Structure 1
Amino acid sequence: MAATHTHEDGPDRAHRRPDGVTDTTVEALGALSKALETTERARGHLYSLHQLTGTADLELDRAVELLREAGHEEWAERVRREILGRNVIPGHWTFQIVEAYNATYYEPFKALEAAAREELAEGRDHLYEAEMKESRRTDGHPAHTARPDTTPG
C-alpha cells in the first residue's frame, strides 16, 4: 500500500516508510499495532470494572446504613459481612487484577511492539494508516490534506 502522493502535501517524515521496508513489513507492523490498540481498549474496560466495582462497594455502606435504619439489622449485617469488601476473584480486589494485567501482559506487549517498530521501521508509527490515508486522499480537496500544517495543492 505504498503512498501515491509525492508532492509536498504528503505525510511528515515520521509517517513515511523508511527505505527498504517492504509492504509486508508495513502490514505486519500495522497488525501488531492494531492488536496493541485492542489491548488498550481491553485495559480501559479493566479500569471500568475497577472503578464500577469500587463505586458499588462504597454504595454498600449506604445500603447497610439504610437497612439498619429501616430495622433490618440482620440484613445489614449480612450485606456488610458477605459482600462489603469482598474479593472479586480469590485473593484479589480489582486493583490487583489491573496491576497484574499491566505487569504480566500490557507492559510487555507495549514494549515488544515499540521494539519491533524501532528495529523494523526506524521507530515510525502508524505507517500502514499513513499510507492508507495517502491512497484515499483527493488532490486539492481542502479536507484531504496530509497534515494539519499543509493546504490543498
Structure 2
Amino acid sequence: MTRRDDGPDPAHQRPAGVDDVTVEALGSLSKALETVERARGHLYGFHQLTGTADLELDRAVRLLRAAGHDEWADRVQRDILGRNVIPGHWTFQIVEAYDRTYYEPFRGLERGAVAALAAGRQHLYEAEMKEARRTAGHPDHSACPEGPHSDGEGLPAP
C-alpha cells in the first residue's frame, strides 16, 4: 500500500455539491450523538455500580447476622436488597428503555442524515479541520494512516 500525503482519503472527502453549512450541520449532529454516546456510557456505569452495590448487600446481610444483628440484616434484605431504583425498574430496564426510546432512534437518524446528505461519508467536518491544521510534509501530520485503506482502496468514489 502506498502512503497518501496529499489529503484525506476518499471516505473523508466532501462529495460534490455538499456545501459548507451541510458539512457543519452534520458535524454538529455527530457531535451531539457523541455526547449521547458518553451519556449512555455513564448510564451503563450507573447500571454496573448499582448492581455491584446490590450484590455487596449480600455480604452486609451475612456479616450483620454473624454479628448478631438479625433485625438489621432483615431490614437490609427486605427494604434495600433487590429494590427497584425507580418505580418498577431495575437499572437494566432503564438502560433498555434509553436505548430503545432515545439512543437507537438518534443513532439511526444521524446515520440516515450522513447517508442522504453526504453519501455516507462520516466526519467530514473533522477531516476538513485536520486538513486545514496539518503541516504538509511533516511525518507526524500525514493525511492518512498507513494501512489497508491508505490508498483509498475499496472505498466509495467521491
Confirm or deny that 1:92 pairs with 2:105. Answer: no
Identity of aligned residues (%): 76
- The Cα of 1:9 is off from its aligned counterpart by 2.4
Alignment equivalent of 1:27, drawn from 16, 24, 29: 24
Structure 2 gaps of 5+ residues are 151-158
- The Cα of 1:8 is off from its aligned counterpart by 5.0
Alignment equivalent of 1:145, drawn from 131, 142, 146: 142
Partner of 1:122: 119
Alpha-carbon RMSD across the aligned residues, in angstroms, is 1.1
Confirm or deny that 1:63 pairs with 2:60. Answer: yes
Structure 1 distance, partners of 2:139, 2:10, is 21
The answer to which structure, 1 or 2, has the higher relative contact order (CA under 8 A, 6+ apart) is 2
Partner of 1:81: 78
Partner of 1:4: none
- The Cα of 1:99 is off from its aligned counterpart by 0.1
Letter in 2 for 1:15: H
Alignment length, in residue pairs?
A: 144
Structure 2 distance, partners of 1:9, 1:107, is 37
Structure 2 distance, partners of 1:9, 1:73, is 74
Partner of 1:3: none
Structure 1 gaps of 5+ residues are 1-6
Confirm or deny that 1:40 pairs with 2:40. Answer: no
Letter in 2 for 1:139: A
Confirm or deny that 1:106 pairs with 2:103. Answer: yes
Structure 1 distance, partners of 2:110, 2:22, is 13
Q: TM-score, normalised by structure 2?
A: 0.89
